[in-house]
Structure 1
Amino acid sequence: MFSDQSANIITHPTGYSGRGGELSVSVGVVSPEMAIPTLNAINTWNNLKPILGNIIKTNHNVPNDQFDFESVLLHELGHCIGLNHPTLSSESGLSGPDRNYTKTMRGANNMLDLHPGLDGVIGSNDDQRNDDVNLFWFHRESNNPFANPPTVDSTTYSRDLHDLPPGHLFAANANLETARLLGFQNSEAIMQQGISAGETHRALSMDDTTTLRLAMSGFDREAGTNDDYTLALEFAGVTDTADIVVSFNSTGFSSCEINATESKPGHFVVRKANIYFNDNIKWFFNTVSNAQPNLTITANNARGSVSVSQNDQLLIDISLLPGVHEQTPADYWLRAETPVGRYWLNDQLEFVRSDLSIRAYGGSLVSLDRFSVFNNLANGLPLGEYRLTFAVDDNQDVIFDGNFADTITINITP
């Protein structure tokens, strides 16, 4: 957070005046195809639920030659509510991996001092940055950008390098390589610059949420006081008069342009923001809402109803997109109503005959992409209709609720 020009500035979303409570910020779009991915990005920021493994390079619905509009919008919305890049990024004038060094201003020598330290990882806690002025707020106790402490304010976060843990030389940021060094795979701050075609970055990391929570501690930078606020982004539909307007232009890749004024020393407030996407880029517009988990069960890659001969191979797959419910504790179920009774998939991935419900798995909601639960010839199955339901609950109590579900009917024919 939040500025390239000063080491001690925090920028707040539109409408903040120092009074606590819920802060509503409207988001409008200029094209209907933007609606669902924009609603998804709004839901993600409003939920403020960080996860590890939020960078998905395969097993999703984005073609390899297109850029995911929702992922890029999630990043740009972060800028429009006050968040900066955690790294030097393109605005530094640097290129390649050097952009991944932690965000700083030039020091007295008027140059950026860049050395990755003994671990050789750019952006980690042993970087040697000489007199560069740190702009990154780090967790005082751990200097771990993937920390998620219960309290986030100036008592638990600092940008003063004197507050680093013993042995640490510089503030570590949440880029992919630093994450790997810390033992976290495919994890990165959404506010980290850059995305490749075919990737999705649709979930926040800990650094994204803690940085916003720091701003939400208000002008006094102390959580639990009267100037604390919560942020509620609201979808305004197709309009160009919202607080944040998402539209197209024909330059660059994407950008957020803001107008902000200083409301109090060290604190700026966004007055108006515009997000632009280059309409010459091949954008992928997600059509699946993340407001609730999206489940799919298929037979031989078909949904709804399918007929399969006993001479055919039968492949049954399940898929799950948790949306904003990722990491929520849940029960997983797969029930099969067959010509010879009711069966359940158990935790050994075996179908078991039972009139009582049997849970397949209990744990966090995670993404599944075409996970195979049956792959065999259909000649061992009696003729008739099979109705299979893949379901997850919104709790983990080993009681079948089936809050979210998808069903397929399979007709086994001679």
Structure 2
Amino acid sequence: MLNIEAVNSFYRWALVLLFLVLLFWISIAEAGVFEFVSDDDEIDIITHPTGYTGIGGELIVTVGIAPLSPHADEMEIPVQNVIQTWNQLVPTTGNIKIDGNTVPRRMFDFESVALHELGHCIGLGHPNLGSESGLTGEEKDYTKAVSGDNDRFDLDRGMDGIIGSEDDLRGDDINLHWFNMENNNPFLLAEVVDKTTYSLVLEDLPPGHRFAANGDRFVSLLLGYGNTESVMQQGILLGEARRSLVADDVATLRLAMSGLDRLAGTSDDYTLTLQYAGMTDTADIVLNFDNKTAFAACSITGVFINDKHVAIQQGQISFNTGYQWFFNPVLDSTMQEQPVLSVRVNGQAESATLQNGDRLLLTIGLNPGTKSGNQADYWVLAMTPLGDYWLDSRLQFVRSDTPVRAHGGAMIAFSDLKIFEGVAGNLPAGSYTVIFAVDDNRDQIFDETYQHSVSFTILPR
């Protein structure tokens, strides 16, 4: 954990902030927005999880349950599921379940609410205006913004009649939602997530679009996705489960993970692993039925890293015991025991043939399963026509006939980490095989305990 004295000596300036995020909209309609963003001079602030200082690498944030909290034992399985969901960062569709079987109709799903609140505690805000706007009813579904010079929200649902969609007429409202510049679709994830693919600036919208679309369930229907809504969209219904992320949730966190320069694949990038700490009051984020809120809320403090980036110091998630809560008793079956690795060439996990002028992009990913946090060695070997090349700790390939370790540290979840990008024609023609391996120990010996490989061929000129 950071403390104020240490931060003051490191950061340009420090400011302790407190933001209380309420999740108490229980109507039918009810993220590309970050916490600590509220005024027109703060619109492009990005908020990072506890421990980020601007230096790239592993970021492990602990999550615990207050030992004396009511329902403490019942919270354990859903909290572990929530941690796994954020660690996997898998975008889904069809994540709204209201069938009377998943969650009893007269109860609130603790796991869904905790997933939302944990998102706040790692830096994500509401994609919609929400209750903090002071608006009521369906007007809270419009995309997050601050009012412009006229000092009021301009709200017109446009020709399609759907609030929060791409044709909303918002006057001089200032957009706060980071949108996919290619399509302004909150349910599609760009291959690379950083400032080159996501923007706040309305001039970067696709032709004909008027405002950033958000991940509301009615917007998803308009775009052809049934029963889908961003986890960070404010609000939950009785009997509803929303236990998996959508592209908007994933993109927002991955944008933060691109670091201070907001460019993926550079030295200030980080990976985030949430780690279950059990029953404790000392974790970075603690969940507690302490009745300090009307329904559920994440309370966070943060410090400025620079004028555009804030790091959270500590998070507390509070719940109210005055509601009927449903606690999922089933541990997520996707929490597999063995790690799953991936290495891809141009987004494909299978062999590929490249022409002279083709782009060549190599990425790797890891889902550590139940071994998350275990110490491990990471290796990447490229077998080329010129011999063996190993990825080193600077993420550069070096020629070596003996193994060179890329990294030693905890097993953490990440996806689509770029390890090479260039033009195929700049490399010798021939066959290539790239192996990504992770050992189950940290002894700097190339064991290949878990590994995945992909092959490709570069044709002669």
Tell me the equivalent position of 2:156: 115
Pair 1:11 & 2:47 matched: yes
Query: Would you say the 8 A contact 2:81–2:332 is kept in 1?
Result: yes
What's the CA shift for 1:79? 0.3
Q: In structure 2, how many angstroms separate the alpha carbons of the residues matched to 1:248 and 1:279?
A: 6
Give the C-alpha shift of residue 249 in structure 1.
Answer: 2.5
Q: Distance in 2 between matches of 1:24 and 1:291?
A: 23
Between structure 1 and structure 2, the one with the greater Rg is 1
* 1:190 corresponds to: 231
Give 1:18-57 correspondences, 5 Å limit.
18-30=54-66, 31-57=72-98
Alignment partner of 1:138 is 2:179? yes
String of CA shifts for 1:76-117, please: whole Å, max 9, x gaps: 000000000000011011111111100000100000000001
- Summarize deviations over 1:22-78 as a string: whole Å, max 9, x none: 210000102222111000000000000111001111153321111110000000000
Match status 1:84 vs 2:100: no
Change (3 A) 1:132 1:219: same
**Structure 2 counterparts to residues 368-379 of structure 1, below 5 A:** none
d(CA) in 2 for partners of 1:180, 1:24: 36
Matched, 1:278 2:320: yes
Kept after mapping to 2: 8 A contact 1:115/1:128: yes
Is the counterpart of residue 201 in structure 1 residue 245 in structure 2?
A: no
Aligned positions of 1:127-166 closer than 5 A: 127-166=168-207
TM-score normalized by the length of structure 2: 0.63
Code of the aligned partner of 1:16: Y
Shift of 1:293: 7.5
The superposition leaves residues 131-187 of structure 1 with CA deviations (integer Å, 9 ceiling, x where unpaired) of 000000001111111111110000000000011111111001110111111011000
Which ranges of structure 2 fall in alignment gaps of 5 or more residues?
Answer: 1-32, 67-71, 337-367, 370-461
**Partner Cα separation in structure 1 for residue 116 and residue 238 of structure 2:** 15
Report the number of matched residues: 296
User: Which residue in the other structure is 2:255 paired with?
Assistant: 214
Contact 2:296-2:320 within 8 A present in 1 as well: yes
Q: Determine helix, strand or coil for the equivalent of 1:249.
A: coil
2: CA distance between counterparts of 1:87 and 1:157?
17
- SS state at 1:111 partner: coil
Identity %: 54
Superposition RMSD in Å: 1.5
1:389-408 pair list within 5 angstroms: none
| Compared CA separation, residues 24 and 293, structure 1 to 2 (3 A) | closer
Give the equivalent residue in structure 1 for 2:10: none
Alignment partner of 1:103 is 2:137: no
Gaps of 5+ in 1: 295-323, 326-414
Equivalent residue letter for 2:52: Y
For 2:229 and 2:102, locate their aligned partners in 1 and report how far apart those are by CA, in whole Å: 20
Cα offsets for 1:342-377 (capped at 9, x unmatched): xxxxxxxxxxxxxxxxxxxxxxxxxxxxxxxxxxxx
Q: Which residue of 1 aligns with 2:407?
A: none
C-alpha distance in 1, partners of 2:209/2:295? 36
Alignment correspondent of 2:264: 223
Equivalence for 2:455: none
